[in-house]
A = this chain, B = another copy of it.
Amino acid sequence: MVVYAGQGDPARSVPLLWRSAEPPERPGPRPTLSVDLIVDAAIAVADETGLATLSMRAVGERLGRTAMALYTYVHGKAELLELMYDRALAELPSSYPDDVPWRDALVAWADDTMAFHLRHPWLLHISRARPVLGPNEFQSLETVAAIVRRTGLPPRAARGAISTLFHYVRGAAQSVADARSAAAATGQSDEDWWYSRSPLLEAAVPDFAARFPMTTWLESDPEPPPEDRTPYLEWDARRSFHTGLAILLDGIALQSR
């Protein structure tokens, strides 16, 4: 299951996102919570235990309230997710120096964006099909666009390049995040997991090398193992991140000439 953004009531969520509505003084008890507090609590829950365990009850409990208390501030879980999404994006750097070559700037951007998604892996499970239209989402687009513009590409091609860059970085982050959370969920390291399965596989498919020659070829010439104790899958994903990015940037450079 994946969560779709942009599903809240726009008349409510747009002002909330841009904080353009000042709550007037009104009769009744003073609110003891606020949208900001709730969004912060929800992000904390998602960071710590993942989107799957992000329930209205969990967020409420973290604030010493019941789940229903949140509905005064936020119309539902969908709206809360939009707010979380845009809020988290505020963490990203909003500009990169323009006295370095665009290529270096894009590598820095990719690294930052990768690290950001790994700090908040739940972001990867929020679909970007419908933009949230929040200030930080636009700012993040603004930031890459400023770099890509320096390639000299016209707007159309720049849009394509940006979308490809986003996909690439999100895909790579997804790999690493998945590797981590799979390890956490099963309590098995990549190696444990593999060692527990490979004998079974060999038993079930004795003629593996004959049946899958190309796969066998791919697995010849293995990587040297990582020096530190980084889990293999994660290490591999990170390593290939930069080589893949280089391919992509080569392509962009080629297009812009």
Contact = CB atoms under 8 A, between A and B. Distances in A.
Contact of A219 (B129, B139, B155): B155
Q: How many copies does the complex hold?
A: 2
B247 A252 contact: yes
Contact of A247 (B155, B215, B255): B255
Interface string A161-194: 1111001101110110011011001100000010
Interface of A is mostly: helix
Interface in A201-257: 201, 204-205, 212-215, 217-221, 223, 233, 240, 243-244, 246-252, 254-255
Given A15-B204, A138-B212, A196 B10 contact: yes
Nearest to A161: B247
A100 interface: no
Nearest to A202: B14
A167 B156 contact: no
B14 A201 contact: yes
Q: Nearest 3 pairs between A and B by C-beta?
A: A247-B251, A129-B178, A167-B171
Interface of A: 1-4, 6-7, 10-11, 14-15, 17-18, 20, 51-52, 125, 127-130, 133, 135, 138-139, 141-142, 145-146, 149, 154-164, 167-168, 170-172, 174-175, 178-179, 181-182, 185-186, 193, 196-197, 200-201, 204-205, 212-215, 217-221, 223, 233, 240, 243-244, 246-252, 254-255
